[in-house]
Amino acid sequence: MEKKRKIIHIDMDAFYASIEMRDNPKWRDKPLVIARDPRHSGGKGVVATANYIARSYGVHSAMAAAEALEKCPDAVFKTPDFPKYRKISAEIHTIFHEYTDIVEPIAFDEAYLDVTVNKKNIVDPVVLAHKLQWELFEKTHLTSSAGVSYNKFLAKLASDYHKPIGLTVVHQADVSDFLLPLPIEKFRGVGKKTVLKMHALNIYTGADLIKKSEAELIANFGKIGYFFYQCVRGIDERPVEWQRERKSIGNERTYDQVLTTIEEVDDFLNWAAKKLAGTLQERKLHGKTLVIKVRNSDFETITKRLTQNDFFKNDTEILVYYGKQLFEQIQSTNINVRLLGLTMTGLAPMADEDKQLSLWG
Ligand SMILES: [Mg+2]
């Protein structure tokens, strides 16, 4: 049975664009696109985000800036100022931590909070979410949307339900009303490829999905089929991961020029794996969990991890091999990388037996 947790997903509204509108009042009633102006960049550049006026013209994040200009010729283009956004992101996270330390950051402007027990001793998570949104606004003059529920999947769907300045609650009793009419592409883990497969199986909404048996979903989708089976029933036991990396060693690299080929990713993996294997060997450590971190040009960060029963060998080739497998789980086509990281966690000293022997010796 699902334990009754209180989870909030907070998502700032059009974060980068809202910051720029806050700081430049002249842009407040104009369509604003956060991207390099394609007229000055030889048509290059990708939309990081757009304000709601620009969105009404069909502009959205990850769209080519040139296409955004076509859709909205009057748009103001503002080159992103990531150092500024990072600073404001830190301010927001400081406010989160006044409520709870169980905060899992998902992006600059997005986080899960587990407020089952919280520093303000507020019992009702809706009251807490409202207070938090108000405080975020008072301190940063930026608006946010919140989703409140008893797991991460539902909280995230809820925060997206009424944007901007939304506060949506999904109670256990309302799960069916909420999930059954939902288009299948809104379900977690349903990407572009999976959506086609779902449609081929005549699954267009939650109501179609819930009719499928567990066995049928697993037969069609593998392990993740079980996940879909649970999701549509409002079950998601994932904890809010607030202490991701307890003990870890790794390296990351940020790229000014976004990587677009698998060869460039291979170059990183070879460099990072060699360094990682070397450092682990030097410190006489080995680990059981390999983690890859990928951030795209839209500043979305995704990590994937692989945990083995036995320790990974501190061997460059092996780490490259598994690193690549993890990477392909995140981006198999349309490579778009601004930052890459390769980390080993679940560390332990090597050759315990040897140490004990020398102890006795
Ligand atoms: Mg947002």
CATH code of the domain in which 341 resides: 3.30.1490.100
Percent with pLDDT over 70 in the chain:
95
| Residue that is last in its domain, among 170, 190, 221 | 170
- Residue 77 CB: number of other CB atoms within 10 A? 23
**Cα 12 to averaged position of ligand 1 atoms, centre (Å):** 4
pLDDT the model gives residue 361: 30
Domain boundary at 120, 140, 170, which? 170
Q: Is residue 360 part of a domain?
A: no
Question: In the prediction, which pLDDT does 357 show?
Answer: 39
The strand pairing partners of 112, in sequence order, are 9, 104
180 with 150, same domain: the answer is no
- The pLDDT value recorded for residue 199 is 96
User: Does residue 88 lie in a domain region?
Assistant: yes
Q: Is 236 annotated as a binding residue?
A: no
Give the Å distances, CA to CA, from 232 to 114, 310, 339: 22, 34, 33
Residue 232, token pair as written in the block: 């549509």
Catalytic positions, please?
110
pLDDT category at 351 given cuts 50, 70, 90 is low
CA neighbor of 269 nearest in space, from 311, 301, 317: 317
The CA 89 to ligand 1 mean position distance, Å, reads 11
Compute the distance from residue 57 Cα to the ligand 1 centre, in Å: 19
Strand, coil or helix: 281 = helix
Percent of the chain with pLDDT over 90: 76
Strand, coil or helix: 12:
strand
| CA of 220 relative to ligand 1 center, distance in Å | 33
Answer for the pair 173, 153: CB distance below 8 angstroms, yes or no. no
At 360, which amino acid appears? W
Token pair of 30 as six digits: 């104009």
> ∠336-340-270 over CA atoms, to 5°?
110
Q: Residue 44 and residue 39: Cα distance in Å, rounded? A: 9
Confidence check: pLDDT of 198 > 90 = yes
pLDDT of residue 2: 43
Range of the domain at 219: 176-231
Task: Specify whether the CB–CB gap between 32 and 78 falls below 8 A.
Answer: yes
Cα(158) to ligand 1 centroid in Å equals 13
pLDDT tens-digit readout, 251-307: 999 998 999 999 999 999 999 999 999 999 887 788 889 999 999 988 888 999 999
The answer to whether position 242 is within a domain reads no
Instruction: Indicate if 267 and 218 belong to the same structural domain.
Output: no
Q: Give the tokens for residue 178.
A: 């909420």
Q: Which of 118, 144, 170 is the last residue of a domain?
A: 170
Q: Are residues 144 and 285 in the same domain?
A: no
Give the model's pLDDT for residue 244: 45
Q: What is the CATH number of the domain that holds 220?
A: 1.10.150.20
Query: Is residue 30's pLDDT more than 50?
Result: yes
Q: Do residues 120 and 183 share a domain?
A: no
**CA 111 to ligand 1 centroid distance, Å:** 10
How far apart (Å, rounded) are the C-alpha atoms in residues 133 and 149?
16
Lowest-confidence pick of 31-35, 79-83, 316-320: 79-83
* Sheet architecture: strand order including 110-114: 103-107, 110-114, 7-12, 144-149, 167-169
Look at residue 259 and tell me if it is in a domain. yes
Same domain (yes/no): 253, 227: no
Query: What's the length of the chain?
Result: 361
38-59 b/e (C-beta count within 10 Å ≥ 16 → b): beeeeeebbbbbbbebbbebeb
97 with 113, same domain: the answer is yes
Of 93, 50, 87, 89, nearest to 71 (Cα)?
A: 50
Q: How far is the CA of 259 from the centre of ligand 1 (A)?
A: 24
Tell whether residue 310 is among the known ligand binding residues: no
What pLDDT, on the 0 to 100 scale, is given for residue 98? 92
342 and 273 housed in the same domain: yes
Is 358 within a domain?
Answer: no
Residue 1, domain member (yes or no): yes
Are 314 and 338 contained in the same domain?
yes
Q: Which residues surround ligand 1, an ion (CB under 5 A)?
A: 11-12, 15, 109
- Tell me the C-alpha to C-alpha distance, in Å, between residue 224 and each of 156, 188, 214, 228, 353: 19, 10, 11, 6, 39
- Domain CATH code at residue 72: 3.30.70.270
The amino acid that residue 83 corresponds to is P
pLDDT of residue 355: 36
CB 320 within 8 A of CB 270: yes
For residue 164, say if its preceding peptide bond is cis, omega within 30 degrees of 0: yes
The C-alpha atoms of residue 341 and residue 94 are separated, in whole angstroms, by 25
Residues 94 and 166 in one domain: yes
Q: What is the mean pLDDT of residues 68-72?
A: 97
pLDDT score, position 86? 84
| Rounded Cα distance, 290 and 318, in Å | 11
The per-residue pLDDT for 285 is 83
Distance 142 CA to ligand 1 centre (A): 11
Tell me: do 25 and 139 sit in the same domain.
yes
Query: How confident is the model over 96-144, as pLDDT tens digits?
Result: 999 998 998 888 899 999 999 999 999 999 999 999 999 999 999 999 9
296 part of a folded domain: yes
Query: How does residue 17 score in pLDDT terms, banded at 50, 70 and 90?
Result: very high
Of 274, 253, 284, nearest to 347 by C-alpha is 284
Q: Which of 22-31, 199-208, 341-350 has the lowest mean pLDDT?
A: 341-350
Q: What is the pLDDT of residues 135-194, one digit of tens each?
A: 999 999 999 999 999 999 999 999 999 999 999 999 999 999 999 999 999 998 898 889
> How high is the mean pLDDT of the chain?
91
What is the tally of structural domains in the chain?
A: 3
In the DSSP assignment, the letter for residue 264 is H
Q: Verify that 8 and 62 share a domain, yes or no.
A: yes
**Cβ distance 72 to 52 under 8 Å?**
no
- Asked, for residue 325, whether it belongs to a domain, the answer is yes
Q: Quick count: other Cβ atoms within 10 Å of Cβ 354?
A: 11
Q: 166 with 181, same domain?
A: no
Say what the pLDDT of residue 283 is.
Answer: 79
